[in-house]
Chain A
Amino acid sequence: AQKVTQAQTEISVVEKEDVTLDCVYETRDTTYYLFWYKQPPSGELVFLIRRNSFDEQNEISGRYSWNFQKSTSSFNFTITASQVVDSAVYFCALSEAGWYNTDKLIFGTGTRLQVFP
Chain B
Amino acid sequence: EAQVTQNPRYLITVTGKKLTVTCSQNMNHEYMSWYRQDPGLGLRQIYYSMNVEVTDKGDVPEGYKVSRKEKRNFPLILESPSPNQTSLYFCASSSTLAIYEQYFGPGTRLTVT
The yes or no verdict on A and B being binding partners is no
